[in-house]
């Protein structure tokens, strides 16, 4: 039974309420917030009804029958009891809503921490996988640097040999050599790893 489906206080002269109808459907913060709002509306209606009955009683004091005044006194007392019950319920609902809100905030925070923990664990495991391949990576870099050094030395030796050959008039008389000069690749290990030391 929820507060949305039952009008716990109508616009008639009824003075009793179904306090159970003001209870939330569950203990979630959203349901409790809705129950608090409903209980506040009921409390305001009861206050208006009490003011109206007390005004009616004041008007009856000088001209109404004794029994009629006692009857309205009974209705005022009933409304006061209903108002007290709603006020007590509202106090409890506020406390439950505060507790549920805190609980849900804590749950969200813990869920976020668990997600971050899983993400961190996965990232660290991936890093461990790289560390396991480090020796192979180090060897590949070292091999690349050695190949680069060898290629550079060979290129220099070639250029020096060509320059020395052209000092010979016979060689120079033959014109350009029919050899295409080797071109170094764009990606050079020592350009990528300028401070790496081969061990």
What does the pLDDT average to over 100-124?
95
Q: Is the dihedral of CA 158, 163, 168, 174 positive or negative?
A: positive
Q: Whole-angstrom Cα distance, residue 94 to residue 100?
A: 10
Question: For 117-169, how does the pLDDT look when each residue is reduced to its tens digit (9 = 90+)?
Answer: 999 999 999 888 887 888 888 899 999 999 999 999 999 999 898 888 888 88
Tell me the pLDDT band of 175, cut-offs 50, 70 and 90. Answer: confident
Report pLDDT for 3.
39
Q: What is the pLDDT of residue 8?
A: 35
- pLDDT value at position 147? 94
CA distance 98 to 33: 9
Decide: helix, strand or coil at residue 25.
coil
What tens digit of pLDDT does each residue of 5-31 get? 323 333 344 567 788 889 999 999 999
């Amino acid at each position: 039974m929820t507060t949305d489906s039952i009008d716990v206080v109508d616009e008639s002269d009824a003075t009793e309420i179904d306090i159970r109808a003001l209870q939330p459907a569950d203990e979630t913060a959203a349901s409790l917030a809705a129950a608090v709002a409903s209980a506040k509306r009921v409390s305001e209606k009861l206050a208006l009804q009490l003011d109206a009955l007390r005004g009616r009683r004041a008007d009856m004091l000088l001209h109404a029958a004794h029994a009629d005044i006692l009857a309205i006194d009974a209705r005022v007392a009933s409304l006061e009891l209903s108002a007290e019950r709603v006020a007590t319920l509202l106090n409890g609902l506020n406390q439950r809503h505060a507790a549920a809100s805190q609980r849900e905030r804590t749950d969200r925070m813990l869920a976020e921490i668990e997600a971050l923990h899983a993400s961190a664990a996965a990232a660290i495991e991936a890093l461990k996988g790289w560390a396991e391949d480090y020796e192979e990576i180090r060897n590949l870099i070292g091999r690349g640097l050695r190949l680069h050094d060898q290629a550079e030395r060979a290129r220099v030796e070639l250029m020096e040999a060509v320059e020395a050959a052209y000092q010979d008039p016979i060689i120079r008389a033959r014109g350009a050599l029919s050899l295409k000069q080797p071109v170094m690749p764009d990606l050079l290990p020592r350009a990528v790893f300028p401070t790496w030391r081969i061990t």
